[in-house]
Amino acid sequence: MTATTTLTARALLLDMDSTIVNSEAVVERCWRRWAAEQGLDADEVLTVVHGRQGWATMAALLPDRPMERNLADNRRMLAQETSDMDGVVPIPGAPAFMAALAGLPHALVTSADIALSDARMGAAGLPMPAVRITAESVSASKPDPEGFLKGAAELGFAPEDCLVFEDSEAGIEAGRAAGMRVIGVGDRAAALAPTAHVRDLTQVRVEARADGVLALHLTD
């Protein structure tokens, strides 16, 4: 028997990678290459990368490394990722989910920069939300809550009125730190105790009520 959980909000804040866009193949290719350059175990590196800006991942992995080198590598890797769209596709259910949000309060809150988010949303065939918080918008990477707080403020809603969709530990921590409830998307999120969890976006139905409340119906 199918069970349904319903959460309500006035605005939705959406992570991009592995939440609405599947870019795992590109991320793995780029970070395995970087790990080999640094003499690091690639599998261990891949446990850290998700959700953060690249320079923040590098700082976590190599705490004694000068930040200038991290920033330089970050710029180089962003260029590589932006030129590599092989295997970038929407998460199952994402096209219908994004179509349902048209005209409703929602924002993209991503650790990618403008160019990379343009490229990946385009490759996945997904519409870009009118409000977008990118790497250029913030001074701190997830798990810092700055991005989600800025997204809520730009939409004009209090943090407690927002629901976050996230896949990664850093992203879920950022949503919680912002005082928001979090719907975890995908296998990685299942173990991170989000407010609710879905396998993918085929399990989410959006209902816009007359009073401006958004009801998110989640099925298992």
Domain CATH number, residue 19? 3.40.50.1000
Same domain, 9 and 116: yes
Same domain, 60 and 99: no
Residue 48 — very low, low, confident or very high, per pLDDT cuts 50/70/90?
Answer: confident
Q: What are phi and psi of 107, to 5 degrees?
A: -145, 150
| Pick from 216, 196, 144, 170: nearest CA to 50 | 170
Q: Could you tell me the residue range of the domain that residue 35 belongs to?
A: 24-83
Same domain, 115 and 55: no
**Residue 59 has what pLDDT?**
94
Q: How many domains does the chain have?
A: 2
195, pLDDT greater than 70: yes
pLDDT digits (tens, 9 = 90+) for 130-141: 999 999 999 999
**Residue 129 has what pLDDT?**
98
Q: Are 182 and 166 in contact (CB under 8 A)?
A: yes
How many whole angstroms separate alpha carbon 55 and alpha carbon 64?
13
Q: Among residues 83, 106, 131, which one ends one of the domains?
A: 83
Same domain, 117 and 199: yes
Is 73 strand, coil or helix? helix
Same domain, 57 and 131: no
Residue 66 — very low, low, confident or very high, per pLDDT cuts 50/70/90?
Answer: very high
Helix axes 54-61, 67-83, angle to 10 degrees: 130
Same domain, 93 and 187: yes
The 3-state secondary structure of 6-54 reads EEEECEEEECCECCCEECHHHHHHHHHHHHHHHCCCHHHHHCCCCCCCH
15 among known catalytic residues:
yes
**Of these residues, 17, 73, 161, 200, which one is catalytic?**
17
Same domain, 75 and 95: no
Same domain, 65 and 96: no
51, pLDDT greater than 90: no
Q: Are 4 and 208 in contact (CB under 8 A)?
A: no
**Residue 3 has what pLDDT?**
80
Residue 61 — very low, low, confident or very high, per pLDDT cuts 50/70/90?
Answer: very high
| Pick from 181, 150, 149, 179: nearest CA to 166 | 181
**Residue 91 has what pLDDT?**
98
How many residues comprise the chain? 220
How many whole angstroms separate alpha carbon 30 and alpha carbon 57?
13
40, pLDDT greater than 60: yes
7, pLDDT greater than 60: yes
124, pLDDT greater than 80: yes
194, pLDDT greater than 90: yes
**Of these residues, 15, 73, 113, 161, which one is catalytic?**
15
Q: Among residues 62, 83, 104, which one ends one of the domains?
A: 83
Same domain, 41 and 134: no
Same domain, 179 and 106: yes
pLDDT digits (tens, 9 = 90+) for 144-171: 999 999 999 999 999 999 999 999 999 9
